[in-house]
Each structure stands twice: as C-alpha cells, then as structure tokens.
Amino acid sequence: MPDALSITASAVDPALLSLPWSTPLGEWPSSAIVSLPKGLSRHLVRFSSLSGRVVAIKETTEQMARREYDMLGNLARLDAPCVERVAVIAKRTDAAGEPLPAALVTAHLKFSLPYRALFTQVLRPDTATRLVDALAALLVRLHNVGFFWGDVSLSNTLFRRDAGAFAAYLVDAETGELHEAGLTRGQREHDLDVARTNIAGEIMDLEAGGRLEGGVDAVAIADGIVSSYHSLWAALTDAQTFTASESWRITERVRHLNDLGFDIGEMSIEQAPDGTKVSIQPKVVDAGHHQRRLIRLTGLDVEENQARRLLNDMDEFRARVSRLDDEEMVAHEWLTRVFEPVVRAIPWDLRAKLEPAEVFHQVLEHRWYMSQAQGKSAPLAEVLSSYIDTVLRHRRDEATVMGPPTETMALPVITAELPVQDDEDDEVDWRDLV
C-alpha cells in the first residue's frame, strides 16, 4: 500500500488499512466484497466487511468525499436520520503509481432496504405510498434543521421497516447544504419539486420494466409526497389562534404533535390586546417523541412507530396484568415478562430476519388475526409458534440481505408446541401469559 495514502476517520479502525485501496474499486477481489443489493447511484459503490460490520464504499473526488463526510457528521450531530460516516480515503494510487479516485466509507444501515429491494416481482400501490410518506417525513425533518437536500429521491434513501410503515434515512448527502438560519419557502419547494419529479421517474422506470402492479398511476404516487409533506409541515409550524377561554387547545396542540412523533422544545404564545384571542406557534420541534420515552423507560432504541406500538402494548399490560403504579417499574416488568421472552423465543437461525422490535410488532399483528379467527384472545405462546412457523421462517434475512414484498401474508392458525427455552434464570414462564 502506498505510503502517501491519507485516511480521515471519525474513529481509528486499523482494519481500514487491510482493504485493497491500491486497486480500483470495480476490480476489488470477491474476498473483499460483500454482495448486497444497492440503490441507483451516479458513482461506483461497493460493500465490504470491516471489523465485523458492513460498510459502503463510494468512489468520488477527494473534495466531494470530504464535503459529504463533513455533512454527514453535521447531520448526525443534529440527530437527523442518515447513514453513519466512517472515513475518507484519499491520495490513492495503483501499483503503477497512477492516481485513483478518493473513497467515502459509510456504515451500512442494518435492516435497511433500498426501495427496489422491497419487492421481488411487482411493486404494490400501498407499498409505494408508504415509501413516499416516509420520504416526506424525512424531508420535513431535514428541512426543520435547515438542510437543503438538492437531490431528493427514493434512490438516495434507505428504508427500514417501522411497525407496518417505513422509516427513511438519507444515504447520499453529496448535493446537500446546511443553512443555520433555516430554509426559505423557495428552497423547501425546490426540494419538494425535485422529489416529485425524481419519484415519478423512478416509479415509471419500474413500470417500464414490468415491475409495477397494473393500474398504478406513477404521477399520482409522486404527487403524494407533496400533500404528505405540506400536511406534516403545517402541523409542525403553523400558528393557531383561538379564544382566551379555549386555552385547552394548547394542550391539544402538544398532544397532536406528540402523536406525530415530535416534541416541542419551545412555544410562542401571544394574546390580543383586548384579551379575546390567543395565538400559539411551535418554536423548536424535535422528532422522536415515542423513541425517547421508550429509551428512558426500557433502554430499547427502535424506530418511532415501533416505539409507539411497544408503548401501547406496555400500557395495555399495565392495565390488564401489572399491579404496579410506578411507570418505570411497569416498564421493567413488561420488558422482562413480555418483550424479552418473545425475542428469546425466536430461534437463532431466524434472528437475522427482522429487528427484534419489528418481530414483536408482527407478533402482535399475528395475535390480532388469530384472535379474530378464533373469536377469542389467542394465547401468546400459540401465537408465537404460529408466527415463527408460518411467517418468520419464510422471510429472507434483512440484517444484510434485502427482503420480500411487504404484502400481508395469510395467517393460518397453528397450535404446535413451542420449544422450551434454555434460559435457566427465567423466573416467569412466558407461556403462561395470555
């Protein structure tokens, strides 16, 4: 390896030195490559293994690599949903001393899926709509911290399953700009127009390849990001006026924003001179309301919708089973008696299929279907056995390999006996739960 090689990294990883940087990325040996599906990119991108994790390597110019590396660092500090930066590799040369492109190294987002990997044959309209809604929510979050994307598209986004919906992450910040003073309406509308155009083109490309379900209107799907974005942006930023006797609307506004997954850091409240009208407007809005509550109570770090679902189950457990009043004690009891036993019951060879929180969400969904079919509440042990055998076992691994279509699967009822767990310290037999 040439002595002039320059590595800029957020954390020193000696394994970076072992990768074949003196070879053009397109010619790396199979021993250095991890085969994963990836989205469309204007640059050459390959995946590799680094210290037990998968990283994405993109060849580009040194200037662009360093700029994007810095941008991803800034976005991470702002808690924006994006891939994690790892390193910039510059001053590369081949065996003959000829210069090679610089490389940007980012961490592969576990359980993430490029939009093209969310289906095997055709893309269903409801899946496309959920992807667009997730991208709209991501764009709102980015605009809220002053980030102008410049190239919004499904291809520049990664998606993770989130309790029946999707959570979107920015994967390409090459064209982005951060504006501390915030974005103008023109900048936000420009991003939105680019998003609409790119999404329409991407959906039409699927249609041309016969991978779009018949009767789907690509333009209508693309238009969906405009309405979804404007609706969420208005909910977060619009001023609200009401009479002085309706002060309860302040609490209502906060609860509505919490339901959307956002917290208010500050709120401006103004009263008319005659005291008849009151106006409120959120000042600082942060995403992840349910995520933060779940982390505080249980330490579980999951997606927003997953957190909402888990918290709902915890609240139901508190009302139905727990005899404790303290919220933190209830959370601990729910974690040890319900969530962890379900996760531990998943066979080792199936644990790369889905994230634990997504598995738990799907088990709850499966329980609902089984209970409907049986006309009574199905025991959790029976539900879990059925879910493992009829649903989870037939999925592809999503930790590093992309999954199958997201359509609802048939849910036949199976009452096979579950294997006994090996955990000797399990004080509560989870199979007794109903």
- 252 and 159 in one domain? no
Average pLDDT, the chain: 82
For residue 168, the tally of other CB atoms under 10 A from its CB is 26
Residues 410 and 386: their CA atoms lie apart, in Å, by 11
The reply to whether 141 falls in a domain is yes
- 336 and 253 in one domain? no
Q: Which residues contact 358 (CB under 8 A, 6 or more apart)?
A: 111, 161, 162, 163, 306
**pLDDT in the model for residue 413:** 31
- 83 and 128 in one domain? no
- 244 and 185 in one domain? no
- 233 and 117 in one domain? yes
- 143 and 95 in one domain? no
User: From edge to edge, which strands make up the β-sheet containing 6-9?
Assistant: 6-9, 85-90, 102-107, 53-60, 45-50
**pLDDT in the model for residue 148:** 97
Residues 76 and 402: their CA atoms lie apart, in Å, by 25
| 8 A C-beta contact, residue 93 and residue 86 | no
DSSP assignment string, 82-115: BPPEEEEEES-B-TTS-B--EEEEEE--TTEE-G
| 8 A C-beta contact, residue 140 and residue 129 | no
Is the pLDDT assigned to residue 65 strictly greater than 80? yes
> 338: which DSSP letter?
I
Residues 284 and 156: their CA atoms lie apart, in Å, by 27
What's the whole-number mean pLDDT along residues 220-237? 91
The reply to whether 311 falls in a domain is no
- Three-class secondary structure of residue 347 per DSSP: coil
> What is the residue range of 33's domain?
6-107
- How sure is the predictor about 398, in pLDDT bands with cuts at 50, 70 and 90? low
Last residue of a domain, one of 107, 126, 153: 107
- 233 and 120 in one domain? yes
Contacts 24+ apart (CB under 8 A), 182-190: 182/146, 183/143, 183/146, 183/147, 183/148, 187/148, 188/143, 188/233, 190/148
- 333 and 265 in one domain? no
The reply to whether 300 falls in a domain is no
Last residue of a domain, one of 75, 107, 139: 107
Rounded to 5°, angle at Cα 305 from 299 and 308 = 60
Bridge partner list, 90: 6
Residues 355 and 398: their CA atoms lie apart, in Å, by 8
β-pair type (102-107, 53-60): antiparallel
Residues 432 and 196: their CA atoms lie apart, in Å, by 51
Q: How many domains does the chain contain in total? A: 4
> 34: which DSSP letter?
B
Calculate the alpha carbon distances from 251 to 243, 267, 280 in Å: 14, 12, 11
54-63, 98-107, 136-145, 202-211: least confident range: 202-211
Dig out the tokens for 325 from the structure. Answer: 């009043």
Calculate the alpha carbon distances from 1 to 10, 96, 185 in Å: 21, 12, 49
- Three-class secondary structure of residue 8 per DSSP: strand
The type of residue at 10 is S
**pLDDT in the model for residue 122:** 62
For residue 420, the tally of other CB atoms under 10 A from its CB is 8
Phi–psi pair at 17, nearest 5 degrees: -70, -20
**pLDDT in the model for residue 428:** 34
**pLDDT in the model for residue 429:** 36
User: What is the tens place of the pLDDT at every residue in 138-171?
Assistant: 999 999 999 999 999 999 999 988 888 889 999 9
The reply to whether 321 falls in a domain is no
Helix (H) / strand (E) containing 326: none
Dig out the tokens for 242 from the structure. Answer: 């009401």
- 68 and 54 in one domain? yes
The reply to whether 292 falls in a domain is no
Tell me the CATH number at 61. Answer: 3.30.200
The reply to whether 306 falls in a domain is no
What's CA 15's distance to the chain center, in Å?
28
What's CA 62's distance to the chain center, in Å?
29
User: What is the tens place of the pLDDT at every residue in 279-303?
Assistant: 776 665 677 888 888 999 999 988 8
- 205 and 147 in one domain? yes
Counted residue by residue, the chain has a size of: 434
- How sure is the predictor about 408, in pLDDT bands with cuts at 50, 70 and 90? very low
**pLDDT in the model for residue 178:** 96
The reply to whether 172 falls in a domain is yes
Nearest CA-CA partner of 347 in 305, 380, 385: 385
The proportion of the chain whose per-residue pLDDT surpasses 90, expressed as a percent, equals 39
Is the pLDDT assigned to residue 427 strictly greater than 50? no
In 3-state terms the chain splits into helix, strand, coil percentages (rounded to 5) of: 45, 20, 35
The reply to whether 422 falls in a domain is yes
| 8 A C-beta contact, residue 391 and residue 411 | yes
Last residue of a domain, one of 203, 237, 271: 237
DSSP assignment string, 174-196: TT-EE-TT---HHHHHHHHHHHH
Q: Which residues contact 60 (CB under 8 A, 6 or more apart)?
A: 43, 68, 101, 102, 103, 104, 174
For residue 181, the tally of other CB atoms under 10 A from its CB is 6
- 382 and 344 in one domain? yes
User: What is the tens place of the pLDDT at every residue in 184-214?
Assistant: 999 999 999 999 999 999 888 887 777 777 6
